[in-house]
C-alpha cells in the first residue's frame, strides 16, 4: 500500500538525513519513478521534504535526522495522517503503521492526528461506470471534518447547512457523511457547490464511527441495486476478474475439486447480469435463475444471426489474393 511506503520513506529519511530516489527505490523494492512520486507526495502534503539538486544532492527532511516524529509540527502531522489514514481502512499494514505513528507523536498532536486519520475512508468498489476526478473541495472539507467546523453549501440547487463528520473516497467518487437538522445524511461532493466552511464549532456524536456509518450506507444502496442474483460456475482463477465486474455483488459459494467455483453475482435486472456475462461465452455456466439463462440465450441468438449475416457478406466482397 502507498501509505506504508510513505511512512517507510519518512522514517528512512529521518534515519539517514538525505536519500536519493534511486536509494529509496532499492530500499523499498519499487521503481525509481514510484519512489520519486512518493517523495513528491510527501512534499505536496506539507511534510518538510525538499529536493537538493547536484551531484551529491537528494531529498532531505528539514530539521535533521531523527528516529521519531517529534520534529513534525501539528500541521505537518495532520497532513501526514490525512495521507496515511484512508489507506488504513483497506490495509492491515497501514493500520499497524498508523498506530506506531500515533505513539511516536507528542501528546498534544495526537488528538488532531487521530481526527485527521479518521476523517477520510477509502472504498475501492465502484457503483457503476463514472468519470473519475478528485473534487476541488476535498481539502477544505477534510479540514472542516478535523476542526469540526459547520459548513454551508448548495446541493442540487437547494441551500444546505451540515456538520461534516467524515469523507469517503469510493473509487475516486467522493461522499460526505454529515449531521443535519434531519439527522445523518450522505452527499456526493460533485453535486455540492458554493461550499463555505464557517467558524461555527460543532460536536461530533461520541458514538459516531465512519466505517460503521459508511457500511450502513453501502448496505442500503446495495439492497436497492441488486434485486436479481444468479448462481454460476467459473474457473476459480478467473473469479478476481468477475469481482472486477460485479464488485460487492460477487460471492464465492464453494470451490469444486475440478477447480471451478460456484459464485453468486447480483445486479438490478436479469438483463444486466446477462449483458455482463455474455462476453465470457462458454467460460461461464449460469445455473440459475432461468430468467438470466433466457436473456443469455436471446443475446447469443441475436449475435449469431447478426454476425453470420455479416460474415457471409464479407466473404462475398473479399478480394481473392491467392489468384494469379
Residue 162: what pLDDT?
Answer: 96
Q: Domain map of the chain by residue range?
A: 2-115, 123-209, 226-317
pLDDT at residue 155 above 90? yes
Is 123-209 the same fold as 2-115?
no
Residue 324: what pLDDT?
Answer: 40
Confidence band for 198, pLDDT divided at 50, 70 and 90: very high
- Calculate mean pLDDT across residues 290-298: 94
Closest Cα partner for 77 from 145, 10, 2? 10
Confidence band for 67, pLDDT divided at 50, 70 and 90: very low
Confidence band for 225, pLDDT divided at 50, 70 and 90: low
User: What confidence tens digit (pLDDT) does each residue in 98-107 have?
Assistant: 666 666 665 5
Residue pair 239/261 in contact by the 8 Å Cβ criterion: yes
Domain 123-209 belongs in CATH node 4.10.1250: no
CA dist list (Å): 301 to 18, 270, 307: 66, 17, 10
Confidence band for 54, pLDDT divided at 50, 70 and 90: low
- Calculate mean pLDDT across residues 132-146: 77
Query: Mean pLDDT over all residues of the chain?
Result: 78
- What is the rounded radius of gyration, in angstroms, for the C-alpha atoms of the chain? 26
Look at 119-128, 224-233, 252-261 and tell me which has the smallest mean pLDDT. 119-128
CATH tag for 226-317 (out of 1.10.3470, 3.30.70, 3.30.1490, 3.30.420)? 3.30.70
What does CATH list as the number for 2-115?
A: 1.10.10
Amino acid at each position: 500500500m502507498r501509505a506504508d511506503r510513505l511512512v517507510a520513506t519518512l522514517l528512512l529519511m529521518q534515519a539517514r538525513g538525505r536519500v536519493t530516489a534511486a536509494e529509496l527505490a532499492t530500499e523499498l523494492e519499487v521503481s525509481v519513478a514510484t519512489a520519486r512520486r512518493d517523495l513528491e507526495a510527501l512534499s505536496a502534503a506539507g511534510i518538510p521534504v525538499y529536493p537538493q539538486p547536484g551531484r551529491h544532492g537528494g531529498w532531505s527532511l528539514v530539521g535533521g535526522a531523527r528516529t521519531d516524529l517529534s520534529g513534525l509540527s501539528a500541521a505537518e502531522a495532520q497532513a501526514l495522517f490525512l495521507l496515511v489514514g484512508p489507506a488504513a481502512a483497506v490495509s492491515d499494514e497501514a493500520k499497524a503503521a498508523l498506530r506506531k505513528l500515533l505513539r511516536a507523536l507528542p501528546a498534544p498532536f495526537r488528538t488532531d492526528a487521530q481526527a485527521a486519520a479518521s476523517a477520510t475512508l477509502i472504498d475501492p468498489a465502484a457503483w457503476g461506470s463514472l468519470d473519475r476526478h478528485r473534487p476541488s473541495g476535498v481539502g477544505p472539507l477534510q479540514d472542516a471534518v478535523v476542526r469540526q467546523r459547520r459548513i454551508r453549501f448548495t446541493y442540487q440547487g437547494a441551500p444546505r447547512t451540515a456538520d461534516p463528520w467524515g469523507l469517503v473516497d469510493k473509487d475516486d467518487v467522493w461522499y460526505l457523511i454529515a449531521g443535519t437538522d434531519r439527522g445523518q445524511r450522505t452527499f456526493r461532493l460533485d453535486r455540492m457547490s458554493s461550499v463555505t466552511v464557517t467558524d461555527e464549532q460543532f460536536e461530533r456524536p461520541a458514538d459516531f464511527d465512519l466505517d460503521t456509518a459508511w457500511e450502513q450506507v453501502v448496505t442500503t444502496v446495495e439492497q436497492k441495486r441488486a434485486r436479481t442474483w444468479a448462481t454460476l460456475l467459473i474457473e476459480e482463477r478467473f473469479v478476481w476478474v468477475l469481482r472486477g465486474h460485479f464488485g460487492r455483488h460477487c460471492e464465492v459459494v464453494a470451490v469444486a475439486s475440478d477447480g471451478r467455483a460456484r459464485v453468486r453475482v447480483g445486479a438490478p435486472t436479469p438483463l444486466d447480469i446477462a449483458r455482463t456475462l455474455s462476453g465470457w461465452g462458454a467460460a461461464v455456466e449460469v445455473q440459475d435463475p432461468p430468467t438470466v439463462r433466457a436473456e443469455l440465450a436471446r443475446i447469443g441468438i441475436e449475435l449469431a444471426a447478426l454476425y453470420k449475416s455479416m460474415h457471409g457478406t464479407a466473404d462475398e466482397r473479399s478480394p481473392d489474393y491467392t489468384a494469379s
